[in-house]
Amino acid sequence: MINIVVIGAGSVGYNVAKTLEKENVDVMVIDIDAEKIRNISDNLDVGVVQGDGTSLSVLRKAEIEKADIVVVATNDDRVNMIATLMVDRLFHVRNKIVRLRDPQYYENSVLMGSSGINATYVINPEKVTAREITNLVRIPIATNVMEFEQGKVKIIGLKIKDKNPHVFKPLKEVDIHFLVVGLYRENELIIPSGDCKFIPGDIALFIAREEDIIPLSREMHEEYFPIKSVVIMGGGHIGKLVAKELEKSGYNITVIERNKKNCEFLSKELKKSSIVQGDASDIELLKEENVFSSDCVMALTNDQEFNILVSLLSKRMGVKRTITLINTSEYFSLAIKLGLDAIVAPKLSTSSAILRFVRHEQTVSVVSIFESAVEAIENVVRSQSYVANKLIKDIKFPRGCLVGGIIRKDEVIIPKGEDMIMPEDKLIVFTLHENLKKLKEFF
């Protein structure tokens, strides 16, 4: 059994522990906050230790020396670095995943390297989120974009609208050339069968290659409009990273930021963007800057209530595309119900990034989808694997499992029942979380 210690019981630590508790993993969570520890103890079947994650006695109480992996994910970068250093030098734990937000730390190769904290894997929530946002700009029909195989394969979420000609038809009767791997409906993600139907308001998840995006939009009767002009509301670290990345592709970018010093910093960092100092809640300012004439408005401030409201206003004023930053699960569900175009949640994205590393060695990556009990897992098929040299239709996967993609060398195959799985293939499998233990037996 793998032993994992999580230092930090906030949203990220909680989500990681919640995901791992149903697997063949021994999880221990450390946090100084008694209320957070009580919350985990009451809701999860994992071990807990209340105390400072940089305390020797607390680490010993958690039996950290037995850990195969330590995840350090408190809200304090300095605490995270000290804890990682102690775990490495005093307890000699090999695998250490650390969450760091400040670029002066995570961009310092000496500090991160073997002569520093010797982190195995450093996760920066802002960088993870910025990449997600730029994907949503480049694929403007999508509510979600999740990547596998360095972006060669994508899971693309599409909102099902009333005008869609495929609504209320069983999927087995829907004449499209793309595989539906999930339906998000009323805060639940369903692994679909052929009898499932598209319902207006659903978010349908398709597996697709880069070249499939436009054909998919046509088959789903979605208007495909390339985004050229972007307004970013909030010039914090995420907003800056998004603007920097989009500048490389020639987008017309305006950043609206309230803080004068931040505006001065952004003016030095961003060479091709227009920086506007002002309050993004000022409607007259937004009209003056032609915000509602842009192709895409991103609400990326630290105020998630404002982000939701300004996104709704932008849609009402005719903006084609909105991207909304959300920080809590309660608002995540609300934003989906309100019909916002695309929603990003840094804490959920960070949890998924951590889980990609934590999985056993045969698993290449894992993506937790929305906040549900469904995950997409990329597994390598070994010659001795049960699934090797078998047709997909002949493999009795657990109920709630669906093979969504096969990567064979440089080829991406959207699978059918007649496809044979070969050794060294990478399979993308969509599964209910409860099936993870059973699924490992197939690989």
- Taking phi over 0 as left and psi of -120 to 50 as alpha, with beta for the rest, 234 belongs to left
Within 232-301, residue ranges assigned H as helices are 237-247, 260-269, 283-288
- Enumerate domains of the chain plus CATH numbers: 2-123 (3.40.50.720), 142-219 (3.30.70.1450), 229-348 (3.40.50.720), 373-440 (3.30.70.1450)
pLDDT at 369: 62
DSSP string, 355-387: HHHHS-TTEEEEEE-TTSSEEEEEEEPPTTSTT
CA dihedral for 373, 378, 379, 381, sign (positive or negative):
positive
Task: Please give the model's pTM, rounded to 2 decimal places.
Answer: 0.84
**More confident: 319 or 188:** 319
Nearest to 325 by CA among 239, 202, 204, 203: 239
259's tokens: 């803080």
For 270-279, 312-321, 368-377, which range has the lowest pLDDT when averaged over its residues? 368-377
Give pLDDT, residue 43: 93
pLDDT digits (tens, 9 = 90+) for 62-111: 999 999 999 999 999 999 999 999 999 999 999 999 999 998 898 898 99
29-57 pLDDT, tens digit each = 999 999 999 999 999 999 999 999 999 99
355: number of Cβ within 10 Å:
22
**Per-residue pLDDT, 362:** 46
Q: How many residues would you count in the chain? A: 443
Tens of pLDDT along 307-352? 999 999 999 999 999 999 998 777 877 887 888 899 998 888 888 7
pLDDT at 93: 95
Convert the pLDDT of each residue in 345-366 to its tens digit: 888 888 878 887 776 544 555 5
Average of per-residue pLDDT values in the chain: 89
pLDDT in tens, 378-414: 888 989 989 999 999 999 888 888 898 898 988 888 8
- Tell me the mean pLDDT in the region 266-291: 93
Given a cut of 90, whether residue 428 has pLDDT beyond it is no
Q: Express as a percent the part of the chain with pLDDT over 90.
A: 54
Cβ-contact 323, 177 below 8 angstroms: no
CA-nearest of 368, 345, 342 to 203 is: 342
Question: Does residue 123 contact residue 99 with C-beta atoms inside 8 Å?
Answer: yes
